[in-house]
């Protein structure tokens, strides 16, 4: 079982920035897709951004495109989510998910992922 650990969450005012980290350890079968999801209170878990199979292709939800940037550091088995121009509606628990057998059409489907972190809280409030 791959272990995913998120960090970097916190409280930030509207318009602020945060950088989330997701570090993977354990028996990682490559290629390995890493994706960020988030879940706000009372809402379903939603797709945020993904790095497809450890390559150059990155996907974003429409709600964060242009504000969030996903990057990957292969040597550290880490994925970072740089979040800028944060809005109150970005408030949620952010989860890192991974899978080595995912197909592209399932990228945004949380139930298709085998590996999950415990999440990190992001709160955007003045």
Residue-wise pLDDT for 33-79, tens only, equals: 999 999 999 999 999 999 999 888 999 999 999 999 999 988 888 99
By the 8 A CB rule, do 58 and 49 touch? Answer: yes
Q: Using alpha carbons only, give the angle 22, 27, 30 rounded to the nearest 5 degrees.
A: 80
d(CA 100, CA 114): 9
90-101 residue pLDDT tens: 999 999 999 999
Interval 87-114 mean pLDDT: 96
pLDDT band, very low/low/confident/very high, at 102 (cuts 50, 70, 90): very high
The total of other beta-carbon atoms located within 10 Å of residue 126's CB is: 8
Interval 7-23 mean pLDDT: 98
Residue 114, preceding peptide bond in cis (omega within 30° of 0): no
């Amino acid at each position: 079982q791959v272990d995913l650990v998120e960090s970097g969450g916190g409280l930030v005012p509207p318009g602020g920035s945060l950088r989330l980290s997701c570090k993977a350890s354990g028996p990682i079968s490559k290629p390995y897709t890493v994706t960020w999801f988030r879940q706000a209170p009372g809402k379903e878990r939603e797709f945020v951004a993904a790095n497809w199979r450890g390559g150059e292709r990155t996907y974003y939800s429409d709600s964060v495109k242009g504000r969030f940037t996903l990057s990957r550091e292969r040597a550290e088995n880490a994925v970072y989510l740089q979040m800028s121009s944060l809005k109150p509606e970005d408030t949620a628990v952010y989860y890192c998910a991974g899978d080595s057998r995912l197909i592209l059409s399932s990228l945004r489907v949380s139930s298709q992922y085998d590996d999950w972190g415990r999440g990190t809280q992001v709160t955007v409030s003045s």
